[in-house]
Amino acid sequence: MLVNASSETKADLKAVSEASSTIEWKGRLLLLIVNFVPLVHIVAVILIFFFLPAGTLVRSLSAIAALYLAPPLLARATRVVVGIPEGRIAVGTKPFFAWWLMFQLQIVFCRFPALEEVLRLVPGIYSQWLRLWGSRVGRLTFWSPGTLITDRSFLSIGDDVIFGAGVRLNAHVLEKGDQGGFELILATVTVGNRAMVGGYSLLTAGTQISDGESTRAFLVSPPFSVWKNGKRVRSRSEES
């Protein structure tokens, strides 16, 4: 069964909910507060559009800026200030809460994928928008309809890359660690130059698609997998 943007986000929220049982009450309260970020985002856009004391054009442009520019700039600032490391992050730590804030800043776009599809209508605009989040995106990247990204600050995309319809780029995974507690695995998804990712594939944390690679459709890439010559190579460590 294919997973859409809404159901995938629900799975992430459920995983965090289970992990939160191991966090002290202050941490749980912080999680709850951060969960209101998407609602605040939408309300702010509405208030600006309808109540900003300015002309229609200024109100419209200001609302668009609040919708599309504020979240990536805040996410980028969060990453710079906190210094979120890549690899395994214990749930309940400062880097985890910083990532959770960045994740919530993206929820509106995950819930309403049409907001991103509009950006993709103009060549180059969507790639530039991802760069605002802090990702590296090369030239002439083609984003097919239905492409879903859940960690827009953790991408490294080469030149002349093609993403098939419905591809999901998910730079994080929540799972139980060796000690029984939950851990966040967070690592940049890398796609090399002239690579083509088959439709409805899922690339998880730390996945690396080599230059010139063409992957099959419905590919599921476990964390830190390297794909080269049509095969999965598990030589990339979590620390690399």
- For residues 180-200, b (16+ Cβ closer than 10 Å) or e, as one string? eebbbbbbbbbbbebbbbbbb
Enumerate the β-bridge partners of residue 136: 156
Question: What pLDDT, in 10s, does the model give residues 110-154?
Answer: 999 999 999 999 999 999 999 999 999 999 999 999 999 999 999
pLDDT, averaged across the chain: 89
What is the number of alpha carbons within 13 Å of residue 31 lying toward its C-beta?
21
Listed by start position, the domains of the chain span 5-35+69-233
pLDDT at 9: 57
Question: What pLDDT, in 10s, does the model give residues 54-97?
Answer: 999 999 999 999 999 999 999 999 999 999 999 999 888 999 99
pTM over 0.75: yes
The whole-angstrom separation of Cα 158 and Cα 226 is 15
- What are 40's two structure tokens? 């605040």
Label residue 178 by pLDDT band (50, 70, 90).
Answer: low
| Topology annotation, domain 5-35+69-233 | UDP N-Acetylglucosamine Acyltransferase; domain 1 (2.160.10)
Cα torsion angle, 39, 115, 104, 12, sign:
positive
Label residue 1 by pLDDT band (50, 70, 90).
Answer: very low
pLDDT at 13: 55
